Amino acid sequence: MIWHTPSRTFDLSRRALIMGVLNVTTDSFSDGGQFIDIERAVAHGRQLAAEGAEIIDVGGESTRPGAEPVPEAEEMRRVLPVIEALARYAGSSEFGVRSSEKGRSPISDLRSSRPAISIDTMKPAVARAAVEAGAEIINDVTGLRDPAMREAVRATGAGAIAMHMQGRPRDMQRSPRYADVVGEIREFFRQTFEACLACAIDPMRLAFDPGIGFGKTVEHNLTLLRNLDSMRVEDRPLVLGVSRKSFLGKVLGSDALADRAWPTVALTSYGRTRGANIIRVHDARPNAEALRMTEAMLSPEAAA
């Protein structure tokens, strides 16, 4: 299973990737406001890479339930300086956190390549500007439905993640309903794949995310996790994002955000056994360790 971006080829046949979340926002559900400062954001991106993230996913607009849209100019103001700085570091020997600062990080030695930068956006103009600034992946929570976003992917040659969402962030959790959640999302992926082919996007640049928590109930989310691999389209990579999401707390009966950390790690390992190829998390190191250990059990070659 191969996934292309403008400057690299990821072989995901035996080894999955950790995608580290970097929210440059004021209102994200778990870390809003923590990294709105450019220097703090860049430092956190470097830390994620040092702890095993092979993709750094930069977002300037919250997609939490109930979130309001951010103006295009403001989103660019937040993300572009961070992407430019991280792209410079990613191309240098300085990328990551020095051992004297944070201690030895053995997971750093397990990265397959320098980290790629991803832009998490719903806006085609932001996606284009981000790729020009150094991003290589467009992560679209609206699933490449917008023809202008598909054209941005085609024109830039970026890797792309099409995520399923029922509704929009402001209303997606108001009574989401499906007759067959797995079948409907699989059909959405199939239609998206065909729409991308119709506008001459290289299929080897596409990946798909079922959108856990985006217009789904707890039971919808659990059903999708149990049936993850059955949603794969044309042998394209599957992306899994469950990190710190509210359904974890609902299953556990806890409102504390800290109580979602280890369930996230558990689902990183479980998701890998169900076919996930790219796993999007806030805490890189424990999830990277769980992923590498799971892969060593699944295939000795993956640990080599």
Work out the percent of the chain whose per-residue pLDDT is above 90: 76
- Residue 103 one-letter amino acid: G
Q: Kindly state the average pLDDT of the residues 24-31.
A: 64
Q: pLDDT, tens digit, for every residue of 183-205?
A: 999 999 999 999 999 999 999 99
Question: Is the confidence at residue 239, as pLDDT, over 60?
Answer: yes
Residues shown for the chain: 304
| Dihedral class, residue 159 (left if φ above 0, else alpha if ψ from -120 to 50, else beta) | beta
Answer whether 217's CB lies under 8 Å from 223's CB.
no
pLDDT band at 37 (very low <50, low <70, confident <90, very high): confident
Can you give the pLDDT at residue 109?
43
Which two tokens mark 210?
């079922």
C-alpha 11/C-alpha 9 separation (Å) is 6
Asked whether the CA dihedral 266, 264, 189, 173 is positive or negative, the reply is positive
3-state secondary structure of 219: helix
C-alpha 233/C-alpha 215 separation (Å) is 21
- Residue 190 one-letter amino acid: R
Among this protein's residues, is 250 annotated catalytic? no
pLDDT band at 172 (very low <50, low <70, confident <90, very high): low
Question: Is the confidence at residue 303, as pLDDT, over 80?
Answer: no
Q: Kindly state the average pLDDT of the residues 137-159.
A: 97
91 or 271, which is more confident: 271
**What pairing do the DSSP bridges indicate for beta strands 116-120 and 55-59?**
parallel
Across 38-42, 193-197, 252-256, which has the greatest mean pLDDT? 193-197
Q: pLDDT, tens digit, for every residue of 86-133?
A: 999 876 655 544 433 444 444 444 444 589 999 999 999 999 999 999
Among this protein's residues, is 245 annotated catalytic? yes
Beta bridge partner(s), residue 2: 11
Can you give the pLDDT at residue 24?
92
Non-local (6+) Cβ contacts of 156 within 8 A are 6, 127, 128, 131, 132, 138
Q: pLDDT, tens digit, for every residue of 57-92?
A: 999 998 767 677 899 999 999 999 999 999 998 766
Answer whether 262's CB lies under 8 Å from 251's CB.
no
Non-local (6+) Cβ contacts of 181 within 8 A are 216, 220, 223, 224
Q: Which of 46, 280, 285, 292 is catalytic?
A: 280
Q: Kindly state the average pLDDT of the residues 128-154.
A: 97
Please calculate the CA angle 125-55-284 and round it to the nearest 5 degrees: 130
> Cβ atoms within 10 A of the Cβ of 281, count?
29
Q: Which of 78, 128, 245, 260 is catalytic?
A: 245
Answer whether 116's CB lies under 8 Å from 92's CB.
no
